[in-house]
Amino acid sequence: MSTREKATEMVRRRYNRIAPLYDRMEGLVERSRYSEWRDLLWSKVEGTRILEVGVGTGKNLQYYPAGAEMIAIDLSEKMLERAKRKASEQKLEVHLQQMDVQKLEFADKSFDTVVASFVFCSVADPVRGMMEVKRVCKEGGKVVLMEHMRSPNRILNLFMDFVNLASVRIMGENVNRRTVDNVRKSGLEVEQVTNLAFGVFQLIEARKKAQRSESMIQSA
């Protein structure tokens, strides 16, 4: 087993462990801040075939656009169990599957938009995960991410580095990643970054560039 696979398995086990407590752990911040941000996140979605990466316990289910074909994945089977229960209670049609974003089991150019919220802080190889997102996104398709990441403030960064030591062990989350840079490294084109709070919580809108065909290049 590779180092990446070991790290991924560790994350899966941690989320399985905290799944029964997850919604209660984030209940206050979900009501006070995250719910408003989720409204904004899903307002940016385009098209009719949408993939949510890291559905978790299903906190985004209520924001899914009406009439869209929704597919949602998560690494943790215990988190998925809770998402499936919520989807049933809300009578939502969504295809829920256990899957690792670092090796997506979808064909190239399958989705109009790929969405994730607070996911790439936990992916063992975030650039690899982003490259998979890019692969399954249609040409000209959109990627919308809500993430917490490294602050532009140096003093705050020192605190985040300290907090990260505990966060990784307890939740499997890295709170100090440079996620905008990782999106660019994957080959996606970053269109807009919206600061949600403190320069740490950000909404990232990116797009997969449409490839010019050989005939178009020759005629240019």
Q: Tell me: the pLDDT tens digits for 169-196?
A: 666 677 778 999 999 999 999 999 999 9
Q: What is the pLDDT of residue 149?
A: 84
Is 60 exceeded by the pLDDT of residue 146? Answer: yes
Residue range 133-160: average pLDDT?
A: 87
How many other CB atoms are found less than 10 A from the CB of residue 36?
A: 11
Domain residue spans of the chain: 3-219
Q: What are phi and psi of 185, to 5 degrees?
A: -60, -25
CA distances (Å), 103 to each of 5, 83, 130, in order? Answer: 11, 21, 10
**Higher-scoring residue by pLDDT: 130, 10:** 130
* Distance, CA of 179 to CA of 122 (rounded, Å): 11
Contacts of 153 (CB under 8 A, 6+ apart): 198, 199
Q: Look at residue 99 in the predicted model and tell me its pLDDT.
A: 98
Of 62, 68, 61, 71, the C-alpha closest to 45 is 68
pLDDT at position 74: 98
Confidence grade of residue 116 (pLDDT, cut at 50, 70, 90): very high
DSSP conformation class of 101: G
Residue 216 has pLDDT above 60, yes or no: no
Flag the least confident range among 14-28, 137-151, 185-199, 201-215: 201-215
pTM of the model: 0.90
Q: What is the pLDDT of residue 157?
A: 67
pLDDT value for 1: 84
Fold classification of 3-219 (topology level): Rossmann fold (3.40.50)
d(CA 18, CA 52): 21
Of 41, 32, 33, residue with least CA distance to 62? 41
**Phi-psi sector, 172: left (phi>0), alpha (psi -120 to 50), beta:** left
Q: What is the pLDDT of residue 160?
A: 73
Residue type, 42: W
d(CA 71, CA 180): 24
- For residue 16, CA distances in Å to 20, 21, 35, 56 come to 8, 10, 23, 10
pLDDT at 213 over 90: no
Query: pLDDT tens digits for 12-67?
Result: 999 999 999 999 988 888 988 999 999 999 999 999 999 999 999 999 999 999 99
